[in-house]
Structure 1
Amino acid sequence: MPKSDSLIPKDVEAKFDAYPPAVKPRMLVLRELVLSVANRIGVGELDESLKWGEPSYLAKGGSAIRMDWKSKTPDECFLFFHCQTKLVDTFRELYSEVLEFRGNRALVLQLGKLLPEREVAHCIELAHRYQSLKNLPLLGC
C-alpha cells in the first residue's frame, strides 16, 4: 500500500514545503497521482524517498519516477523516468499530441495549463509496472 500523507518521509515533506507557493500545489497533485495510480493498480508498497534531491517513487517491479521543479524553468515541472528504459519513447509514441517531453527522460508539465491527468496517469502506471511490460511492443499498449 502506498504510504499515506501522515507517513511522508520528513526529507520529502521538506522538499515539498520548499517549493514556491505557486508550484507546491501542482507538485502535491503529481505526488497524489503517483500514489493513487499505485493504489489503483495494486503495486503494493511504494518507496517514497529523495533521490538526487528530488521526490522519488519506486514500486516493486517498476521503474523509478522522480518529480521536480527547477527555478531555471519556472513555468514547468517535470516527471523524470529512467533514461535506459523504453518509457519516454513509448509515452512520446502514445501521447506526442498531448504531452511534452525533454530528451529520453522527462515529461514536461506546464504550470499554467490544465494537467492532462488521464495521459499522465497512464504514463505513471506504465512506470509502476515496467518490469512486467518492458519486453512487450509499446509496453503492451
Structure 2
Amino acid sequence: MPDTSPPFPNTAVADVFASFPEDAHSGLLTFRNLIFATANETSGVGRIEETLKWGQPAYLTPDSKSGTTIRLGVPKSGGFAVYVHCQTTLISEFRSLFPDDFAYDGNRAILFEEGQALPVDPLRLFIKNALTYHLK
C-alpha cells in the first residue's frame, strides 16, 4: 500500500509511534496509512484529527462528528491492536462478518500478531464503518 498518510501532527504522537516495539511498529504504521486513505475515500467523514487518547494514537472526525474514535496500540499479550469504544456495535458486527478471520478482544479490539499481513479490504470496511458510525 502506498504511503498516503500525512506527517505526524505533533511530536507526542510521533514519539509514541517511535516507542512501539519494532515488530508492531510496521503494522501500526500500515494501519495508520489505511485510516487516512479510507477517510479520504469516504464521503461525509471530513478531516481526520490524530491525537493521543489514553497514551495511544487516536483518530477522530472532529468537524463532521461522523465517527467514533479509532485507537492504535500494543496489548499486553503482544502484537498490535485497533481499538474502538466498547459500547459501539462495530466489533460485534465485524465479528459476524469475519468470525474466523481475526482475533478479537471482547467488543473493544481487533488483535493482530507481529508480522501478520493486514487483509486490507476487510479492514477498510471496518475503518469506514468506524468513521461513519454516527451517520447510521
TM range (shorter): 0.7 to 0.9
Alpha-carbon offset, residue 32 of structure 1 = 0.5
Specify which of 63, 66, 75 is matched with residue 68 of structure 2.
63
Corresponding residue for 1:98? 101
Q: TM-score, normalised by structure 1?
A: 0.84
Structure 1, residues 58-105: CA drift from partner, whole Å, max 9, x if none? 1221000001013x322x211001111111110111111212211110
Partner in structure 1 of residue 33 of structure 2: 32
Does the 8 A contact of 1:81 with 1:105 survive in 2?
A: yes
User: Is the partner of 1:89 in helix, strand or coil?
Assistant: helix
Alpha-carbon separation, structure 2, partners of 1:7 and 1:68: 16
Look up the match of 1:73: 77
Residues 27, 115 of structure 2: 8 Å contact kept: no
Secondary structure in structure 2 of the residue aligned to 1:6: coil
Partner of 2:24 in structure 1? 23
The alpha-carbon deviation at position 121 of structure 1 amounts to 1.3
Matched pairs, number: 129
User: Pairwise CA RMSD of aligned residues?
Assistant: 1.6
Deviation string for 1:80-134 (max 9, x for gaps)? 011111111101111112122111101111223211111111101100000112x
Q: TM-score, normalised by structure 2?
A: 0.87
Distance in structure 1 (CA, Å) of the matches to 2:21 and 2:115: 14
Aligned to 2:131: 128
SS at match of 1:23: helix
The equivalent residue for 1:139 is none
| Equivalent residues of 1:78, 1:109 under 8 A apart | yes
Cα distance between partner residues in 1 of 2:55 and 2:24: 16
